[in-house]
Every structure is written in structure tokens, then in C-alpha cells.
Structure 1
């Protein structure tokens, strides 16, 4: 009886409440996707598009016409297409270019780029901080060879009477190729020896003898080249002058002459005659 009275004294349980209806989540907002254009397509897709222009069933003459069209028209559409087209053109014509290099000259024309932030020189015809132009100056000679070769090939296919002009290629490989290769070698050895800087302001450094020298920016350096003599030329707003020269033999390797120029440049910087 006591137990029943205790149970009767408990408060009644709360009434059942129906759960409130749960509202569905808001719909996902559909993002408006812009149509792809030549400026926002990834580079690897652009490169694939360029490769697909070449049919495996096409004749050699048709493929040469496609290469000519890449060089004359397509690469001028946008920067992305320029990079993709030049990749195909340079890879295609590099063996032919290398075969025409005069021994004992060496060659390394494929693009090298400078990753460091640099201040472009208004005097330099070879900007080193461009994502399109190469730090390697011989690349420009390769591009000139491609422009000449694609035209000569198409003209030769169009007419059997067309004769390839050997003197045009002779100018490239007798003077422009060894001179630009020499400039690249001077840059390579000069940076290693601390006499040339690329992509950064020149800062005074101490030599092993305790002297202070200020390296020269590569953007203002060029090379005068002949079969018997080479020289380093500095171009400023006021003038262009040859600062050092070195003798060379006709069959001397370019690497040897470049090392001589860099050694002469170091002596010139240490003398303070600049």
C-alpha cells in the first residue's frame, strides 16, 4: 500500500510531442562555368591539340605544310600556343640544326630559363626574365634556322625548280651560331667565377686576394667573334666598347676561348680600370 501511494505521488509524464518537420537543405548553388578559351586552357591540353594536327596518314609534304603553318600563323595567336608550337618545332628541327654545326664548335640551343627575379635591361636584346624568351642565346639562332628551314622545305615541295639557298644557312652557322654559343659559355663560366651575374643586381664580392670586384650583368654583355680573335663587349646607353680580347686559333674549341675571356674579365675587374 505504501508503494502504491509513492507511485501515485509522482508527477505525470510529459505529453508526447510530434517532432517538427525537418526542412530540406538548401539546393546547391550551381556555379556558372565560363567556356574555355585559348587563354585559360592548360598548357598540356594546348600541346596535345598541336600534336593532333599531325595525321599519321598524312604525307611528308602535308606534314611540312603543317609545320610551316605552325611557324607562320598558329604560334602568333596566344602566348600559350606560341610555347606549344615552338616546343614542337624545336623538337622536330633540332637534329637537322645540330647536324649543320661546324666542328669543333659545340651547341646547346634548347631554352634555359632563369628562375630568379631579375630586372630587365632596356639595352639588352636578350631579356633573361621572360617566360617566352630563353636565357640561352643560341635558342634565337635555332628559331631563325627553323623559320628559314620550314619555308625552304615548303617551297621545294611546291616546285622542283626551287633551289635551296645555301648562303642563308652559311651565315647562321659560320658566325651567328658560334658567337651565340660563345656568349652562353661566357655566361656559364662567368657566373661560376663570380664575374657575371644573371637575374639579380650586381653586388661586390671579395676575391681570394682580398680585393672587391663588382660582377657585370649578363644583359649588357655580348661577344665579338672571328676566326682569330674573340672579345667581350659591354653596351651602355652612352657607348659600346670592347673591354677584353683573346687570341684564338681557327680550330680552337669555343670552351677554351670562353675560359680565356672570363679569365681576362676577372683581371679587368680586379684592375679597377672600368
Structure 2
């Protein structure tokens, strides 16, 4: 075979040059999707096969509560997701009968990054229980001389839990009756057919709280202050209760009393 150099012309190879790779973009933990960050946090736990491993787990939970959740909003939501899921059974076991509980966070915002608040006021009670429990557990592990302060848990479940749960029930029943609103842009049509409800001015839930005792409960309205002055508080409705009365029953009675009070306010304004 005869090769004709004039016909076969080979192009020279490309020059050897140093490759210029695109600079690597550094990503922080906060830039990770929430589900990946949640997996990373769960991976910090050891398998509790013995007492020492269980102590390490409790130390990790304490670190989540006092350290990691304070870094930023995403770490807070991730850490509280872990802490609430772990301590919820212990919290539920301390609920006094006939009280009920629903501390699961409710929020208008679908984005975990944009909103950390919860409509459920009992969520704050659960978070207080977690902060107290993680500290007591670690201190008990560190010293046999540490005595758990039972009165702290007693105050929490005798007063704070039923009061916050009652406020959540009043919110739900009050919104359904059209006497309470969460956001004026999403006000619901009242379920009651009373004509007086068409003229009343519902109250914002953010301005309401519950006064709770063994014999009486009431709704407290906070009026906004002017300038730097502090707003005033006044009890607008109050009803009696018994120790064994269900919170659902007490909440409905408060909402009915609030409805009557709002109707009376309209009548007084109209000079009737």
C-alpha cells in the first residue's frame, strides 16, 4: 500500500494547556434542604445499647436545646423537630385527666424557613417542658446527688398546659362562631344564624388570653397602647368551672359569653 503524503494530511494534536475548572461553590449547612439537614442531625445520635450510650444521647439532646437550635432559623426548626418528636410521649404521659392536649405546631406559612411561629399556644408549653426536661436529665446523669425538682413539672401541668390548651380551643371555637379572627384577610363566615352577629366586631386572637384558676376562667383583652405607653388589660367575660370540667366544655362556654358581650357592646354603641 502506497501512502500519498499530499492526500493524507493529519491535523496536529491540540496543545497541552492547564485545565481551568470552575471554582467550587462553598455551601453552608443552612443552604441544605431541610430534609437533608434533619438526617444529619439524627446522625449525631449514638445507638443506645447500654447506659453510657443513653447518657450520650441525653447529652446530644441537651446540645440541641442549648446550642444548635440557637444558630439560626433553619437550625432552630430542625432541632425543635427532633426534640419535639422525642419528648412528646413523655409530655403526653403527664397530661392530667380530664384535660386534653394538642401541642403540634400550627402555622399559616407553608415555608419552614420563613415562619417559626405557631398558632398553637400549647406548643410554647411543650417547648418549656423540653427545656426543663433536657436540663434535668443531664444534671441527673452527672451527679447522683441531684434531685429532680418535681414542683417545676407540677406547675407546668397544673396551670400552663390547661391554660394554653384552653386558649387554643377558644381560638378554634371563636373563629367558627365569628367572634374571633386570626387574620382579617381570612375571616370565616360565622356558623351561628343570629342576626346580631352580622354587626359585631370580632376580636383578634393575638389580643386575647385566658385567666385560669381552679374555680374560674376568663377571657382577658389587651388594648394596644398609644406611643410608648403600655396597653391595658381587662377581663371581658368570666365563668365558673369545676376541677373535673373538660376544657372543651369550658371553651365553648367562654365563646358563648364572648358572643353575648360583643352583642351588648354593639347595642350600647347604638344607644339601645
1:45 aligns with 2:36: yes
Equivalent position to 2:200, from 213, 220, 233: 213
Q: Is the CA contact (8 Å cut-off) linking 2:218 and 2:235 kept in structure 1?
A: yes
* Alpha-carbon shift at residue 31 of structure 1 (Å): 6.3
- CA deviation profile, 1:191-245 (whole Å, cap 9, x unmatched): 1111111123697978634331111110000000011111000001241000001
Contact map agreement 2:69 2:75 (CA 8 A) in 1 = yes
Q: Tell me which residue corresponds to 1:67.
A: 61
Displacement, 1:110?
1.3
CA distance in 1, matches of 2:83, 2:188: 42
Q: Which runs of 4+ in 1 moved over 4 A?
A: 29-33, 201-207
Provide the residue aligned with 1:227 in structure 2: 214
Change (3 A) 1:204 1:52: closer
Q: Deviations over 1:134-164 (max 9, x none)?
A: 1100000100000000000001011111110
Give distance in 1, aligned partners of 2:187 and 2:175.
13
Residue 267 of structure 1, aligned match among 260, 263, 267: 260
Matches within 5 A, 1:20-169: 34-56=25-47, 59-115=53-109, 131-169=115-153
Q: Give me the TM-score of the superposition, normalised by structure 1.
A: 0.80
| Bigger Rg over Cα | 1
**Alpha-carbon offset, residue 181 of structure 1:** 0.4
Deviations 1:72-125 (A, max 9, x none): 101111111111100000000001011111111111111111249xxxxxxxxx
TM-score by length of 2: 0.80
3-state DSSP class of the match of 1:39?
helix
SS for the counterpart of 2:29 is coil
- Alignment partners' CA distance in 2, 1:136 and 1:40: 28
- Helix, strand or coil at the partner of 2:239: strand
User: CA RMSD for the aligned pairs?
Assistant: 2.2
If asked which structure has higher relative contact order (CA below 8 Å, sep 6+), I would say 1
- Unaligned stretches of 5+ in structure 1? 1-28, 117-129
Question: What is the number of residues matched between the two proteins?
Answer: 233
| SS of equivalent to 1:92 | helix
User: Retained in 2: the 8 A contact 1:141–1:177?
Assistant: yes
Q: In structure 2, list runs of 5 or more residues that go unmatched.
A: 1-19, 226-230
State the distance in 2 between where 1:202 and 1:242 align: 26
SS at match of 1:255: helix
Bigger CA drift: 258-267 or 48-57? 48-57
